[in-house]
Amino acid sequence: MTANDAERRAMRHALELATHGPRGLNPQVGAVLLSPAGDVLAEGWHRGAGTAHAEVDALSKLAPGAARGATAVVTLEPCNHTGRTGPCSEALISAGVARVVYAADDPGAESSGGAERLRDAGVDVVSGVLADDAAALLHSWLEVQRLGRPFVTVKWAQSLDGRAAASDGTSQWITGPDARADVHRRRSRADAIVVGTGTLLADDPALTARTADGSRYDHQPMPVVLGVRPVPADAAVRRHPLALVQHDGRDLVALLADLRDRGVQRVFVEGGPTIAGAFLRAGLVDEILAYIAPTLLGGGMPALGDIGVQTIDDQLRLRVASVEHFGDDLLVVAAPRPSTGSGTGSTDSGTGKTHSGAAVPGGDD
């Protein structure tokens, strides 16, 4: 079976509706109910954890029995489990919906199976309609489901000879304004930004995402500081629009689990060489952003700390995704080779070593 034109139009609208919902622990989902003639009966979207799912939200806008024989067009396979809310598959069956058209399969071990349940109840089911559009919308959420933790990007800026700061500790600015603007754009797409207390005390960063004119992007990353030293009361991060989260940094797997529980899907690690090295050493990095300026420092702080490589055979091989120019600066976007880790510790494909977690040495960067 395939979707008809009215159902495809409804799916495009459902994808738009889904964007009204917040990103977080639950996916953004939209739903449209169509009459047998293809007219819109009701629509809905998921408004966050603990609220009605998109299908139930749409059904709630109809009188009892009004959905009998209708088609439900949904951006994600209806769930088949009971959490804070009941199974959407059962709600659709009880409402008398005759046909369900959805875009993306639910990857959850507990929540998937809705399509099978609907078919068993005699409901016509069509899957994969505008699946690429749904995958793009749900990209971050789907990555969290695949990894079992938030997607982690590690960023650093360096001179051509691999230094992040001069011998006296100064580091502002190695790269130019175009590269720094790109960093802020990428910060604005993240849900959390992570630094160590060493970086925070040395540079007093605001940890906000700002446009070229200094104003803040609408979406701001949650500021996360790793380390045991106290954050000064007058630190710039204290003026961040989101509340500061501080962890001791001793267990990065536990940190990511906590951030996931807070609804974080994408983590932007910008905390200096020790923090960057700790995440890489733990096998918890999915993307590397290395901004390279055509300048030489000849000494000072290296851009990356210890990642556990003792011999050339242990080197962590990367896959380069792209190389971009920002003025005179280069951005190399790369990722560790695919690993066999599950997200609660992983195997670095470049080293063959398995990690169950990692600590930031001394809890500070």
> pTM for the full model?
0.80
Cα-flanking dihedrals φ and ψ of residue 195, to 5°?
-135, 165
Nearest residue to 240 via CA among 269, 205, 191:
205
Pairing relationship of beta strands 124-126 and 99-104 according to DSSP bridges: parallel
Determine the longest span between alpha carbons in the chain, in angstroms: 76
CB contact burial 167-195 (16+ within 10 A = b; e otherwise): eeeebeebbeeebbebbeebbbebbbbbb
* Cis amide leading into 173 (omega within 30): yes
Question: Catalytic: which of 7, 43, 55, 287?
Answer: 55
Is residue 258 a contact partner of residue 238, using CB atoms and an 8 Å limit? no
| Domain boundaries, given as residue ranges, for the chain | 5-143, 149-363
The yes or no reply on domain 149-363 and CATH 3.40.50.300 is no
Distance from C-alpha of 186 to C-alpha of 199, rounded to nearest angstrom: 19
pLDDT of residue 171: 74
Q: How many helices (H) and strands (E) does the chain have?
A: 10, 17
pLDDT of residue 173: 83
Residue 134: which residues within 8 A CB-CB, separation 6 or more?
A: 15, 75, 76, 103, 104
Distance from C-alpha of 199 to C-alpha of 195, rounded to nearest angstrom: 6
Q: What is the DSSP string of 235-273?
A: -GGGGSSS--EEE--S-HHHHHHHHHHTT--EEEE-S-H
pLDDT of residue 195: 93
- Given the structure tokens 């169950």, which residue do they identify? 356
In the chain, beta strands by DSSP E:
30-34, 40-45, 71-76, 99-104, 124-126, 151-159, 163-165, 192-196, 222-226, 245-247, 266-269, 287-293, 301-302, 318-326, 329-336, 346-347, 354-355
Nearest residue to 97 via CA among 112, 83, 75, 78:
78
Distance from C-alpha of 115 to C-alpha of 77, rounded to nearest angstrom: 7
pLDDT of residue 357: 57
For 262, other C-beta atoms within 10 Å of its C-beta total 15
CATH topology of domain 5-143: Cytidine Deaminase; domain 2 (3.40.140)
Full pLDDT tens readout for the chain, 365 residues: 799 999 999 999 999 999 999 888 889 999 999 999 999 999 999 998 788 999 999 999 999 999 999 999 999 999 987 777 779 999 999 999 999 999 999 887 666 789 999 999 999 999 999 999 999 999 989 989 888 999 999 999 999 999 988 887 777 788 999 999 999 999 999 999 999 988 888 889 999 999 988 899 999 999 999 999 999 999 999 999 999 999 998 999 999 999 999 999 999 999 789 999 999 999 999 999 999 999 998 888 899 889 889 999 888 999 999 999 999 999 999 998 865 444 444 434 333 333 445 665 544 55
pLDDT of residue 329: 94
E strand or H helix that includes residue 58: helix 54-59
pLDDT of residue 1: 75
Q: Which two tokens stand for residue 316?
A: 């962590």
- DSSP reduced 3-state for 219: coil
Active site residue 270: no
